[in-house]
Structure formats: C-alpha cells, structure tokens
C-alpha cells in the first residue's frame, strides 16, 4: 500500500472518529456547563487543570517514545512495550497518588479536593491509554482508537446525562468522567493483544534505552505544562470561580481544536523518523505537505473564530458563557500556533535532536510562570489568554530554529497568501448571515473556503495524486 494511502486511510478514520467523538464531547460540555453554571464549571476546570500537572509528569515522554522505539529496525517490540506499560503503571500510581494527597493541603474548597480524588482515576486510565495509542500508531490501526474513544465518550455522556437528569450534583459528574476514561482504556487494552503479545516486565537494558529516548521529551513536556496550564491554576487561586469558569469554557474549545494535529502527527512521526535516516528528500517532502495541510486547517479556523466567537461559546456552553467569546478570540491564535509548533517539535523528535530544544522550553516556562504570577492577579483571564499566545509563539520559533539548524529543512510558505485570501472570502460570505445558526454558518463557511482555495489553486490535484505514488521502503 502506498505511503500516503496508509496515512490518508488512518487520518480518515481518525478524522471521522474525532468528528463523532467531538460532537459527543460538545454535548457533554453543553450539559455540564448548563447544569453547573460558571462557578460550578470553574471548580470542575480547577480539578482538571490541577490533575493535568501530574498527568504530564506521568507521561514522561512515553507516548512519543513508544512509536519511536517500536519503529527501530529489529526491535523486540513485545519486550519494549511490556517495559513501557510497566513504567507507565508505576509512574501513574506514584504521581497521581502524590497529587491526590497534596491537594488536601492546598487552600481549595472541599468540592475541589474531593473532586480531585475522584477524577484521579480518569487520569490514571488516560495515562495508560496514551502508551497503548503509541502501539496503534505504529500498527497504523487508528480506526480502533477512534472507535474506542467514541465508546468512552458515549459512556461519559450517559453518566453526565444521568447526573443532570436526576440532579445528583458535582461529584457524580466527576465520577462519570473517570468511568468514560475507563471504558476507553479497557477497549484499547483488550484489543492491543492481537497486535503484540506483550507482558509486564522490567528489564534493566530496555529501561535504560527507554530512559535515554524519553528523558529529553519528559523535560520538554513537563516544561510545556508550566506555560500551558499554570495560567488556570494561578487563576483559580487569585480570582473567583466564576472567572475560572469563563476562561475554562474558552479553554475547553481550545483543547478540542488542538487534538486533531496531534492525532495526525502521531501517524507522521514514525514516517519522519524512518525517512530522516534513509531518504532526506522524502523527509522534507512529508514535512512540507504536513505544513501545508495544517495551514489549510488552522488559518481559516482563526478567521472564523474571530467572527463567530460569541455564537460559538453560546452554542457550546450556553448563554451564561457568552463572555467566554472574548478570551476565545485570543486563545484561537494560540491554537493555530500549537498546530505549527507541534509539527516542528515532532520533526525535531523524529530527527533525534530533542535535547537541543530543552533550553528554549526552560526559558519559556520561567518567563510564562513569572508573567502569569504578575499579570493574572491584575487582569484575570485576559492576561492568561494573551500570555498563552506569546508563549506558544516562542515555542514555534524555537522548534523551527532547532529543526532548521540541525536538519537543514526548509519550508515554503507561499501557500499562506492563498489561504488567508480564501479565509477573508469566507468571512465576507458569512458576514451577512450572522443571524443564522452556528451550524448553518459552519457549513457555508467550509464550502466557501474550500471553493475559494480551489479556485485560487491553493492545492494542486496533480501534486496530490503524485503523493499517492510514494511507496513505503
């Protein structure tokens, strides 16, 4: 099967599954925000943001390392994967256990403390899922990952729906989140056995190999956590829960939107790793096509959100969260930057130069933390949103600098002009229709944008067909 045909098939399943799971996720958020209100959703946002700190520490770069280690020629995949799962189990138990104990010493209300204890199970299962997904990425079996996510989201929606219908309150809603994560994990775990007959094990030589591969990733991911989630944590300490809820609702949209590039790039990473060593031309060609593809998605997303932010937030979270449209207009720029930062970062990892980027992540983490501490108490979520854009811009520039310096890779940005013009045409078409429903606006926007991009020759049919001729070596 051709290289791009495999990528296209798996991206199709991911995209289709992500559309369904996102729709279910939006329904879940809609129920939660309308039931909990700004203050209650602010408490929920605090619970999730707090646990995400420990969730990132658990990861230790193992998800990216999994695909990288399993893709090595002659690798004993069962042995490596058994060690990866064992390491993840140990790290999850240690860090989540510590996080659950620490929260009871912090000046949070009891609702948040007990919520953290309940939601810790969700992050435990999510941490195991991420390693399993690395295996599915290596096998290019992402259809099963998409299906498992859909079942997990359905379980979550059912739990949230029951909690709202019977007025069970805050804690059962948090428990439903853990139940949905368990369902997702259980499906992935039992199906993984058909791809690899692994068992839990701890082998010193393999653990050393995992450590050598993952520690630079672990440091960069941990530092990423500081600038990506410290804003919400600091906000929860210094501002009312209602403001945390406004920011958290906008951030929820951001989190949904940035899932796609990581799913796509998860498939690209093993290919970039292989071609960097065997065919530099294909490495740069995949990098360029990935950039073009992400730009085609990210740029109109920004323009459309600038135009429709309030309508989006009312649709997602309800009329009480119309104020979330303001920070969303700023955060959407951060989302677009994350698309490109993720691409350059993955390419750096594929080329094996991840250690070179650690210093930039350290600078960004220190700068963002200092800025959050100074400005969030004064300007609330506006400061958090603006600083999030600034810190993501620093990471994009740093990742590209390292990639270009170490690999000599080049990116042509000529397509951006056509994408921006197509996005402006889309906005012009949407402007007279702003009184229509958000679903109508989305459909019209997508049709107008891609029609304009086609007429402007933003993508070349012959070049796309040529990509399908690439063969896996």
Give me the pLDDT at residue 470, please.
43
Distances (CA, A) of 412 to 80, 125, 271, 335, 375: 38, 41, 20, 21, 37
Rounded Cα gap, residues 414 and 431, in angstroms: 27
Give me the pLDDT at residue 5, please.
57
Using alpha carbons only, give the angle 366, 64, 214 rounded to the nearest 5 degrees: 65
| pLDDT tens per residue across span 259-283 | 778 777 766 766 776 677 677 788 8
Angle, helices 325-350/259-278, rounded to nearest 10 degrees: 20
Helical ranges in 60-109 per DSSP H: 62-70, 77-103
> 3-class DSSP state for residue 279?
coil
- Residue for token digits 């499906």? 187
| pLDDT tens per residue across span 80-136 | 778 888 888 888 888 899 999 999 999 999 999 999 999 999 999 988 888 888 777
Q: Give the rounded distance of the alpha carbon of 126 from its chain centre.
A: 13
Query: Could you tell me which residues come within 8 angstroms of residue 89 by beta carbon, excluding any fewer than 6 positions away?
Result: 128, 200
The answer to whether 262 and 228 have CB atoms below 8 angstroms apart is no
The answer to whether 159 and 180 have CB atoms below 8 angstroms apart is yes
Give me the pLDDT at residue 471, please.
42
Rounded Cα gap, residues 14 and 2, in angstroms: 18
Query: Could you tell me which residues come within 8 angstroms of residue 84 by beta carbon, excluding any fewer than 6 positions away?
Result: 62, 65, 66, 69, 131, 134, 210
Q: Where are the beta strands (DSSP E) in 93-191?
A: none
The answer to whether 172 and 125 have CB atoms below 8 angstroms apart is no
pLDDT < 50 stretches in the chain: 1, 464-473
> 3-class DSSP state for residue 212?
helix
Question: Which DSSP symbol is given to 459?
Answer: S
| 3-state SS track over 219-263 | HHHHHHHHHHHHHHHHHHHHCCHHHHHHHHHHHHHHHHHCHHHHH
Rounded Cα gap, residues 464 and 473, in angstroms: 20
Give me the pLDDT at residue 55, please.
76
Give me the pLDDT at residue 248, please.
92
Query: Could you tell me which residues come within 8 angstroms of residue 197 by beta carbon, excluding any fewer than 6 positions away?
Result: 78
Give me the pLDDT at residue 472, please.
39
Using alpha carbons only, give the angle 365, 371, 377 rounded to the nearest 5 degrees: 130
Could you tell me the two tokens for 255? Answer: 């989190």
Number of alpha carbons in the 13 Å side-chain half-sphere of residue 239: 29
Could you tell me the two tokens for 19? Answer: 């559309």
Give me the pLDDT at residue 74, please.
63
The answer to whether 69 and 349 have CB atoms below 8 angstroms apart is no
- Residue for token digits 């170490």? 406
Could you tell me the two tokens for 20? Answer: 């369904």
> 3-class DSSP state for residue 73?
coil
> 3-class DSSP state for residue 471?
strand
Give me the pLDDT at residue 323, please.
95
The answer to whether 210 and 60 have CB atoms below 8 angstroms apart is no
Tell me the pTM: 0.78
The answer to whether 402 and 360 have CB atoms below 8 angstroms apart is yes
């Amino acid at each position: 099967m051709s290289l791009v045909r495999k990528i296209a098939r798996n991206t199709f399943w991911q995209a289709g599954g992500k559309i369904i799971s996102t729709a279910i996720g939006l329904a879940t958020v809609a129920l939660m925000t309308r039931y909990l209100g700004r203050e209650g959703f602010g408490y929920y946002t605090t619970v999730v943001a707090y646990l995400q700190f420990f969730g990132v520490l658990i990861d230790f770069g193992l998800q990216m390392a999994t695909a990288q280690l399993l893709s090595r020629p002659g690798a004993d995949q069962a042995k490596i994967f058994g060690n990866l799962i064992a390491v993840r189990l140990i790290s999850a138990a240690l860090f989540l256990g510590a996080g659950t104990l620490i929260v009871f010493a912090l000046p949070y209300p009891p609702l948040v403390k007990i919520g953290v204890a309940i939601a810790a199970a969700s992050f435990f299962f999510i941490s195991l899922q991420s390693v399993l997904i690395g295996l599915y990425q290596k096998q290019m079996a992402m259809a099963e990952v998409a299906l498992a996510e859909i079942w997990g989201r359905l379980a979550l929606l059912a739990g949230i729906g029951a909690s709202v219908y019977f007025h069970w309150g805050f804690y059962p809603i948090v428990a439903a989140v853990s139940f949905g994560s368990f369902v997702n994990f259980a499906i992935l775990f039992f199906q993984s056995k058909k791809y690899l007959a692994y068992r839990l094990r701890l082998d010193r030589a393999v653990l050393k190999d995992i450590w050598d591969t993952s520690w630079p990733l672990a440091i960069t991911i941990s530092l990423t956590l500081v600038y990506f989630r410290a804003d919400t944590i600091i906000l929860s300490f210094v501002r009312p829960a209602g403001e945390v809820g406004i920011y958290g609702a906008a951030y929820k949209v951001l989190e949904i939107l940035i899932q796609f590039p990581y799913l796509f790039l998860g498939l690209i990473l093993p290919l970039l790793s292989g071609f960097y060593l065997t065919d530099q031309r294909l490495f740069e060609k995949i990098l360029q096509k990935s950039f073009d593809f992400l730009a085609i998605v990210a740029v109109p997303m920004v323009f459309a959100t600038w135009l429709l932010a309030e309508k989006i937030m009312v649709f997602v979270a309800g009329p009480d969260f119309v104020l979330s449209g303001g920070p969303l207009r700023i955060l959407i720029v951060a989302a677009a930057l994350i698309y490109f930062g993720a691409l350059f970062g993955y390419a750096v990892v594929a080329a094996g130069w991840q250690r070179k980027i650690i210093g930039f992540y350290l600078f960004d983490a220190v700068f963002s933390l200092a800025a959050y501490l100074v400005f969030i108490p004064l300007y609330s979520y506006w400061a958090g949103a603006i600083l999030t854009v600034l810190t993501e811009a620093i990471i994009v520039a740093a990742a590209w600098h390292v990639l270009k310096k170490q690999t000599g890779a080049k990116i042509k940005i000529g397509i951006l002009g056509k994408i921006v013009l197509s996005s402006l045409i889309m906005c012009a078409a949407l402007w007279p229709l702003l009184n229509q429903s958000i679903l109508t606006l989305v459909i019209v926007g997508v049709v107008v944008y891609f029609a304009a991009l086609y007429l402007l020759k933003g993508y070349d049919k012959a070049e796309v067909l040529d990509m399908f001729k690439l063969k896996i070596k």
